[in-house]
Amino acid sequence: MSGGSPEKQIVHDACHVYRAYVNLAAADASSRVSEGNRRTLVPALLIAVLSSVGVVVSLMQTLVVPIIPKLPTLLNTSASNASWVITATLLAGAVTTPISGRLGDMFGKRRVLLTNLVLLVLGSVVCAVSSSLAPAIVGRVLQGAAFGAIPLGISIMRDELPAERVGSAIAIMSATLGVGGALGMPLAAAIAQYSDWHMLYWVAVVLGALCAALCYFLVPESPVRTPARFDFLGALGLSVALLALLIPITKGADWGWAGPGTLSLFAVSVVVFLGWGWYEVRQRTPLVDLRVTARPRVLFTNIASIAVGFAFYGMSLTFPQLLMAPEQTGYGFGLTMVQAGLALAPTGFVMMLLSPVSAKLSAARGPKVTLILGSIVIAAGYVCALMLMNSVWQIMIAAMIVAGGIGLAYAAMPALIMGAVPITETAAANGLNSLMRSVGTSSSSAVMGVVLAHMTMKLGHFTFPAKDAFHTTFLISVAAAVVGVLFALCIPMRKSADAAE
């Protein structure tokens, strides 16, 4: 028996080795099958589907712009109340975007993306079947809740696409924030002019449902998740703080900037933000990881995003009014909303065409350089607008230059953010960056609105913005772009402890 013991031990060890080999081979085969399934994903198709989602979601921003003057009559309400149809979408988007990002990191980005699209469709249906103020505001809130789809799409691209395709894909997806707004103007204007205004919302229903179907069948669920308890109190605190900040920004011109309601809400915003920050840094799984957000690369990118968003909305608000102003003003061109929309539609194509250029430039020189260059181009576009206001084609050239800068800058921001945060927090970080852009556009809307409303001229019984008002808005936009350049210069790009793996 003792003589046979070594042989038995050898046989025993051999069996163990064989079992280990079989298990390893099975695991290898399983991983190959998994990789094979991943290879069946067509990158171009995924990029096309998610970019389409981005365009449709951002289109909601300009969907009702053509009917703004008619909204009080259409909804049987006052002009002040009707303005909430615009404000509600903005506020809902600002509040839900970072929340959607966090939910996507926790429960699956595709799942939350589909939820956003369902909310868009539901909100569009509510607006389409109603003709009064309350349902219209509810529907627009649901439409705004879908804005988180764009940062979620960016995060899905990072998780799913081959490394060599990620840069250009994210650049295209990020540019859809501007593309949808630019293309939506002429489309919405044509529908509003030649059909019943409810048709605007039915078109949104069809587009939203189509995008949801494409995502359901063609977009895979991201394998990257962060299982954790959702920070409900943090979400509530952030929502209250953002509403207290954005409501007076958007309504300050109507309420008075020094009015008690405006100042009280600003004070509430400051207090709630401080309390929210104190609470978040003490949570194990916070809604927003403020320690990551405070990293210089993330912090300065977000501040630059506010400035670039501010400069971007200056074009969206002022150029259409300039083109549609009567020729009797001495500076206007008397275009209809459809004609003005068509004149500015090329800006969307410029943003989309420059997105891959931005990705290549970021790969060669770094996204910081791309963001700086984009901000400089934005400033140059507004300088051109200051000097070229004598014909429609000159306005178009200035608008396309600004759009080119937006395309470069917007495409660089996600690359900067995702290079500085853990992969498990990309959706939440991109959502926060989108929120910063929204704060910029909201602030721009308020400031530009005040300038255009107070620097006016009389033409018969009507009041129009004076030519100097447009010059002032262009100079303010130049200043915002310069601020974007200055903060972009502060972004550290060296590989240090604040850079994520």
Chain CA centroid to CA 335, Å: 29
Report the chain (501 residues): mean pLDDT per 10 consecutive residues.
47 47 39 41 87 90 78 85 82 84 87 95 95 92 90 87 84 77 78 85 95 93 76 88 85 82 92 92 82 87 92 83 87 86 85 82 89 95 91 93 90 84 74 82 80 83 86 94 95 55 35
Distance (Å, rounded) from C-alpha 36 to C-alpha 161?
Answer: 14
- Whether residues 55 and 142 fall in one domain: yes
- Whether residues 256 and 367 fall in one domain: no
CB 153 within 8 A of CB 389: no
DSSP summary character for residue 222: P
- Whether residues 81 and 102 fall in one domain: yes
Q: Is residue 3 in a domain?
A: no
**pLDDT value at position 87?**
79
Note the helical H segments in 331-391. 337-344, 346-365, 367-387
Sort residue 76 into left (φ over 0), alpha (ψ -120 to 50) or beta.
Answer: left
Q: Is residue 364 in a domain?
A: yes
| Of 395, 390, 431, the residue nearest 413 (C-alpha) | 431
In the listed set 245, 264, 282, which residue is the last one of a domain according to the structure? 282
CB 214 within 8 A of CB 391: no
Distance (Å, rounded) from C-alpha 302 to C-alpha 97?
Answer: 15
Q: Is residue 4 in a domain?
A: no
Would you call 397 exposed, middle or buried from its count of C-beta atoms within 10 A (0-12, 13-18, 19+)? middle
Distance (Å, rounded) from C-alpha 216 to C-alpha 488?
Answer: 38
State the DSSP H helix or E strand holding residue 100, giving kind and residue range, or none if neither.
helix 84-107
- Whether residues 219 and 267 fall in one domain: no
**pLDDT value at position 7?**
44
- Whether residues 345 and 478 fall in one domain: yes
Domain of 253, in residue numbers: 232-282
- Whether residues 267 and 301 fall in one domain: no
**pLDDT value at position 41?**
66
**pLDDT value at position 107?**
86
- Whether residues 408 and 378 fall in one domain: yes
**pLDDT value at position 12?**
52
CATH of the domain at 87: 1.20.1250.20
**pLDDT value at position 26?**
39
**pLDDT value at position 10?**
43
Counting the structural domains of the chain, the total is 2
